[in-house]
Amino acid sequence: MIKNILIIFMLFTVNYSSSQGKFNEERLKTSKKLIALIEKKEYQEIKKLFPDEISKNIPEKALKYYVDMGSTFISKYGIPTDESLLTKVNIVPTKTGVVMVNSILFPFPATKEKSTMPKRIIEVGFIEKYGNKKIVSFKVAELQPPPAPKEIIYLDKLEFRTDSISKWRIYYSKGNIKNKNREVFAVSGNLDEMKKLQIETDYKNLLKELAEAPIKEKLYPNDIVRFNGKPENITLSWQYQGDNKFYRISMIINKEKNVEEPLNNFVIVSTSIFANQPTVYYVEKNKVKKLVYKLTEFSKRDWKDKYEKNP
């Protein structure tokens, strides 16, 4: 399955899904090396960035086609700055479970605001098995925004269950805040793993409080949720069996000094199929104090050997 990831990523359109997060420096360095090789059309050198078991199965014609397309993007728009880059996580099903592919996206043309879906991308993928010096995929594509729904149906209450969760993930970033926590971490698993970690009850309790809280505002922003600066923040996300929607609860834990964050006083709840087209609900933090406390506690907890190696 792994040897086919490159082909899958390049030849099929996947849902665009991105977020603002702190980059893994080694992963970023490898991605920039790939971009430099794409710019120069160094086909054989690009193959060396893949593990041997993947490299030997890369179709030469497909490689040339996508490298040439990427080189054209770079020639026309230049190499994006670090501030313009995005991160992404793809969950790729396999016969034995799933593989989590962490990606860095280079948008063309670049924009510091990150306020709209990029028109063109080069996406570089990594998995834990091969570390951060080897890539398992790259995708070069011109993107078309998914169509907006004809009718937006908002939830009256934020009622969510835990009994049929298929997978969940806690993602934390300290941003530019100085503290003793890890800079970035993620913990993830299925419902059984949630029970083993003894957080199922916590999950149920915070969702119960959320269901009883008034919704301050409902929006369909046609964009991902963004912060003005790089605050300390945490996101709890999950999916249900037989449901292709993603569910997320995010909040700022501490904002940067002298940076205005309009979302600082809110817990942000979103549901989406396409991550850049969420339906967003804002709940005031003072209405869900137990939830805020628990997510903050999650950010400080020692998850021992359950941390993802490359979040």
Which CATH number is 70's domain given?
A: 3.10.450.590
Over residues 239-264, the mean pLDDT reads 91
pLDDT computed for residue 135 by the predictor:
95
Domain membership flag for residue 147: no
- State whether 24 and 55 are in the same domain: yes
**Nearest 5 degrees, angle CA 293-CA 207-CA 204?**
95
pLDDT tens figures, 32-87: 999 999 999 999 999 999 999 999 889 999 899 999 999 999 999 999 988 888 88
pLDDT tens figures, 90-144: 666 555 555 778 889 999 988 656 556 788 999 999 988 899 999 999 999 887 7
pLDDT computed for residue 182 by the predictor:
83
Domain membership flag for residue 154: no
- State whether 200 and 256 are in the same domain: yes
Total structural domains within the chain: 2
- Where residue 9 falls among pLDDT bands split at 50, 70, 90? very low
As a whole number of angstroms, the distance between CA 10 and CA 4 comes to 10
Locate tokens 């029970």: which residue? Answer: 195
Domain membership flag for residue 32: yes
As a whole number of angstroms, the distance between CA 169 and CA 235 comes to 8
- State whether 60 and 27 are in the same domain: yes
As a whole number of angstroms, the distance between CA 229 and CA 261 comes to 7
CB 160 within 8 A of CB 243: no
- State whether 193 and 262 are in the same domain: yes
- State whether 103 and 180 are in the same domain: no
Could you tell me the residue range of the domain that residue 282 belongs to?
A: 165-306
As a whole number of angstroms, the distance between CA 137 and CA 4 comes to 9
- State whether 170 and 276 are in the same domain: yes
Over residues 175-195, the mean pLDDT reads 85
